[in-house]
């Protein structure tokens, strides 16, 4: 007997529909899986055989052939266990194969017949909807993900028996599974409870750094903080998450797809409801940073999509890791070519890098700095010119006085800063509603002249800055885009000289901390 089910496999973070064809015939007992199946799928033979028997059903000792089509696509993962098991039971007459039509089946089968969660469910269900599939049977721990796709009937199961009884139209089982679906909370997001205690008003002084990060968040610009150890670079950066606007539903779906593909949501039954803040250690490898592998696993830069990527002690990262930022900083995505596939991962984030001005951290204070000129040059050369050119805001943080740090004066709260950020982002949203962009940082050379209208005094100042600072074309355009964001924070349509002047102070600091920085 023959039957066909629909499952799916992940290629990067994109789902691809796969037909699972099952044929049982008389002959020497044997179970073959063909169709370019990976090692985890080939291991499904023993999981399916034992899971079916322990669930109370008879495993047929016949010739069983399983084909995964199309055969030219390599399949990976354990999501094929459930459709393979159901296909075998269907061929044995446990239920009618008509119940398998227009339905997606996903799940890993345990040896006792339980159904375990798998990665990438949201991407697979989304792709199933695009292919005209109207029902999805998924593991219970993946239910929250699957429900993110609207107008799709989702059935969550905990074991193989529930799936079989549902397909046999068992009334009690159907009512029970439908009740499970209705009782799932609307939004369950991954949060860090310690974040609620963070606020910008806990940072004393450092007005320039706060202003620079406000501009960075408002226009999705990249920033670098430079200052001696203990000045508060890490402290202020961690509080950037408190001035990030809330995510839209589209952003939530996109982020949850990424985290699900990266196996960050397995067994959690949660979604990503807040903007991510990623802070990898400087010992991270290039593969973990940009993603990849043979199965296409997202890296840290994709996990920071629509959020913040903080790189503390920036020069201490491996040079190959730092240089791998070139394309993502410019394009907002990363494309990785592997022998089997080409993976495209989104990577539009706000980079906030923090570093000391020298190895000991105290340059240009020569009373404290003991670094040799060769050590200073070697340290600064760890950050290449092309990377620095792609960072919009260079912010130097200087020590604050005792009077300031010991005073009881109230600092501006995160709520106050967030209110201005929201206004600036709404201005950009309305301005670019007919474009395929959302933020000032995404403006291209061809569109920048249409939206960065400057006054005569601003043009003069831009010309002087371009000549005196020796800016590249990229630096000039980034200076204009930062000026556009500052004007938006002031709710000004035209970029004035005061906006350009402030942008210039962030583009090239005159403190002498580093001729390069």
Q: What is the mean pLDDT of residues 369-377?
A: 82
Better-scored residue on pLDDT, 433 or 185: 433
CATH class of 193-433: alpha beta
Residue 365 has pLDDT above 80, yes or no: no
Strands 277-278 and 308-311: parallel
Its pTM stands at 0.86
Residue 155 β-bridge partners: 137
CATH class of 2-182: alpha beta
Read off the pLDDT of residues 186-233 as tens digits, 9 standing for 90 and up. 444 555 555 667 888 888 888 899 999 999 999 999 999 998 888 888
Q: What are the tokens at 82?
A: 């459930």
Residue 363 has pLDDT above 80, yes or no: no
**What pLDDT does residue 515 have?**
39
In whole angstroms, give the CA distance from residue 321 to residue 317. 7
Residue 127 has pLDDT above 90, yes or no: yes
**Cβ atoms 224, 394 nearer than 8 A:** yes
Better-scored residue on pLDDT, 397 or 512: 397
Q: What is the DSSP secondary structure assignment for residue 282, as one 8-state letter?
A: T
Sign of the Cα torsion 267, 272, 274, 276 reads: positive
**Cβ atoms 501, 473 nearer than 8 A:** no
**What pLDDT does residue 49 have?**
94
**Cβ atoms 214, 417 nearer than 8 A:** yes
Dihedral (C-alpha) 317, 319, 321, 324: value to the nearest 10 degrees? 140
Q: What is the mean pLDDT of residues 307-327?
A: 93
Choose among 493, 390, 421: nearest CA to 211: 421
Choose among 97, 94, 32: nearest CA to 63: 32
**How do the domains of the chain map onto residue ranges?**
2-182, 193-433
Q: What are the tokens at 348?
A: 């539009």
Distance of CA 396 to CAs 210, 231, 322, 355, 517, Å? 11, 10, 20, 10, 9
Exposure string over 112-136, b if 16+ CB within 10 A, otherwise e: ebbbbbbbbbbbbbbbbbeeebeeb
Q: What is the DSSP secondary structure assignment for residue 315, as one 8-state letter?
A: G
């Amino acid at each position: 007997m023959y039957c066909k089910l629909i499952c799916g496999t992940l290629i990067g973070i994109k789902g691809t529909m796969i037909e699972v064809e099952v044929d049982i015939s008389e002959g020497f007992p044997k179970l073959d899986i063909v169709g370019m199946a990976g090692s985890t799928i080939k291991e499904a033979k023993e999981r399916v055989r034992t899971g079916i028997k322990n669930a109370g059903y008879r495993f047929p000792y016949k010739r069983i052939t399983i084909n995964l089509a199309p055969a030219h696509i390599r399949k990976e993962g354990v999501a094929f266990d459930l459709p393979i098991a159901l296909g075998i039971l269907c061929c044995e007459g446990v239920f009618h194969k008509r119940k398998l039509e227009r339905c997606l089946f996903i799940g890993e089968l345990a040896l006792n017949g339980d159904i375990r969660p798998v990665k990438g469910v949201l991407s697979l269900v989304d792709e199933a909807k695009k292919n005209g599939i109207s029902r999805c049977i998924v593991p219970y721990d993946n239910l929250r993900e699957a429900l993110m796709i609207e107008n799709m009937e989702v059935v969550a199961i905990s074991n193989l028996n529930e799936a079989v009884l549902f397909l046999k139209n068992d009334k009690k089982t159907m009512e029970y599974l439908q009740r499970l679906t209705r009782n799932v909370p609307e939004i369950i997001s991954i949060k860090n409870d310690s974040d609620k205690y963070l606020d910008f008003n806990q940072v004393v002084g450092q007005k320039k750094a706060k202003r620079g990060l406000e501009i960075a968040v408002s226009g999705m610009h990249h920033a670098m903080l430079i200052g001696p150890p203990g000045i508060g670079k890490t402290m202020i950066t961690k509080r950037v998450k408190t001035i990030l606007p809330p995510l839209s539903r589209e952003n939530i779906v996109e982020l949850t797809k990424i985290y699900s593909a990266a196996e960050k949501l397995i067994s959690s039954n949660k979604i990503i409801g807040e903007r991510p803040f990623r802070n990898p250690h400087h010992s991270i490898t290039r593969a973990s940073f940009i993603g990849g592998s043979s199965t296409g696993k997202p890296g840290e830069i994709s996990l920071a999509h629509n959020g913040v990527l903080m790189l503390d002690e920036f020069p201490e990262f491996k040079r190959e890791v730092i240089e791998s930022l070139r394309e993502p900083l410019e394009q907002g995505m990363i494309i990785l070519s592997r022998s089997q596939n080409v993976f495209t991962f989104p990577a539009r984030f706000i980079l906030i890098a923090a570093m000391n001005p020298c190895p000991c951290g105290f340059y240009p204070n020569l009373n404290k700095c003991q670094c040799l000129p060769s050590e200073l040059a070697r340290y600064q050369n760890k950050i290449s010119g092309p990377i620095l050119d792609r960072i919009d805001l260079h912010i130097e943080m200087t020590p604050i006085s005792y009077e300031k740090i010991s005073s009881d004066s109230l600092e501006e709260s995160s709520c106050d800063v967030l209110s201005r950020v929201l206004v600036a982002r709404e201005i950009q949203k309305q301005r670019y509603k007919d474009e395929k962009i959302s933020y000032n940082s995404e403006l291209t050379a061809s569109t920048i002249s249409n939206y960065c209208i400057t006054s005569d005094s601003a043009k003069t100042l831009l010309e002087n800055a371009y000549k005196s600072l020796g800016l590249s074309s990229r630096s000039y355009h980034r200076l204009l885009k930062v000026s556009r964001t500052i004007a938006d924070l002031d709710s000004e349509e035209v970029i004035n000289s005061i906006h350009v002047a402030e942008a210039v102070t962030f583009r090239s600091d005159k403190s002498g901390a580093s001729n390069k920085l």
